[in-house]
Structure 1
């Protein structure tokens, strides 16, 4: 393993193993030959208790490039994920992972996942990414909560809770 990105991600993995939020998962992808792809991480974000997201374990992929940490990773939920700040293709719209807004090379994987977790519960009305989710969130909170609870049930399946 060589390069700044690879070294930084190895350090991030080591730090994550020592200290990560309960219920969260973040690990580099294993390739068929048994090697590790440090540039693609499979993650899980647990739904926060006492919110409509509770019970879900939300799959997220972090894709890094060789110019990390100069540039942020791309964070994506599955295509069609329901949320005002998630594009239809699953890509997360969040300032701390946007190189033109809030990205800084000092931001860690842990901070990214915590930021995305917070965004799930507290959508950013000033930066909508998904028209459908945004309109429902703004106009019909009851329907929004029902759709979030449906999604939590969808992602409570065991296949989403383990990697």
Structure 2
């Protein structure tokens, strides 16, 4: 079931226009349906606007019964992304994941996370603290990282 569903979901992302506003493109890594490489656009109105971020997505063999994992390959200044690029995203947590969730739902949730970080669930507490205490400084630093690391 997993590979048929993944093939269907992958085709959805290949269609134009993309079904999710933050997804610019999706390709398979070495023709492996369980490994995707995505170009994610920084959402308008966020400090990441104008950036293009590479995000790796790995699917477990028993997808959709278990959630995929996302990892930013492009450096990003965000409280919910650790130094290795791993993402803390509510929809991907084991207690929240449902087999009915689709990758378009995951990517929409990622776009929302870029717009609205969850500082109380931060993987990087230093960035979460700055987000809560000095939003202007956080936005400035996040925008600078987007310019430095995610420019087209």
The answer for the alignment partner of 1:17 in structure 2 is 14
Asked if the contact 2:60–2:68 (Cα under 8 Å) also holds between the matched residues in 1, the reply is: yes
Q: How many residues align?
A: 149
The answer for the alignment partner of 2:27 in structure 1 is 27
The answer for the alignment partner of 1:130 in structure 2 is 124
Distance 1:55 1:109 in 2: 23
When residues 83 and 156 of structure 1 are mapped into structure 2, their CA distance, relative to the original with a 3 A threshold, is closer
Q: Can you give the 5+ residue segments of structure 1 that lack an aligned partner in the other structure?
A: 159-163
Displacement after TM superposition at 1:105 (Å): 0.9
Asked if the contact 1:79–1:89 (Cα under 8 Å) also holds between the matched residues in 2, the reply is: no
- Deviation digits for residues 15-41 of structure 1, max 9, x if unmatched? 222352356222321x2xxxx111110
Which contiguous aligned blocks of 4+ residues in structure 1 show a shift greater than 6 angstroms?
Answer: none
Larger Rg: 1
- Deviation digits for residues 110-137 of structure 1, max 9, x if unmatched? 1111111110110113311111211111
TM-score by length of 2: 0.88
Distance 2:144 2:122 in 1: 21
Asked if the contact 2:21–2:108 (Cα under 8 Å) also holds between the matched residues in 1, the reply is: no
